């Protein structure tokens, strides 16, 4: 099944295709498309995952806040028809 990601970056609306087999997550896909290095993000995410093993909401909030600080907003996954 094909998906599209719609997001704002640098005050511009952008869209791109997304496939689960090519990217680890939606966040990895949009960061790669914009040329953003996520080395620090993955390190901090792994540490947080070890501390909050059963708390998925904390991880989700961390991802959303980190990408908001990078300048991404309104990240939406859409099905292609």
Rounded Cα distance between 36 and 40, Å, is: 11
Q: How far is CA 66 from CA 1, 17, 22, in A?
A: 28, 22, 22
Kind plus residue range of the DSSP H or E element containing 46: helix 39-51
pLDDT digit string (tens) for the chain, length 81 residues: 578 999 999 889 999 988 888 888 899 999 999 999 999 999 999 999 999 888 889 999 999 999 999 999 999 998 876
Beta strands in 1-81, from DSSP E residues, in sequence order = 3-9, 12-18, 72-79
Predicted confidence at residue 53, as pLDDT, reads 82
What is the spatial distance between Cα 56 and Cα 49, in angstroms, rounded to a whole number? Answer: 9
pLDDT given for residue 21 in this prediction: 82
pLDDT for res 31: 94
pLDDT of residue 1: 59
């Amino acid at each position: 099944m094909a998906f599209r990601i719609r997001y704002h970056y640098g005050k511009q609306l952008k869209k791109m295709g997304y496939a689960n087999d090519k990217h680890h997550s939606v966040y990895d896909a949009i960061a790669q498309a914009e040329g953003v290095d996520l080395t620090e993000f993955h390190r901090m995410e792994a540490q947080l995952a070890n501390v909050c093993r059963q708390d998925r909401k904390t991880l989700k909030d961390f991802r959303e806040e980190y990408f908001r600080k990078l300048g991404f907003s309104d990240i939406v996954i859409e099905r292609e028809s």
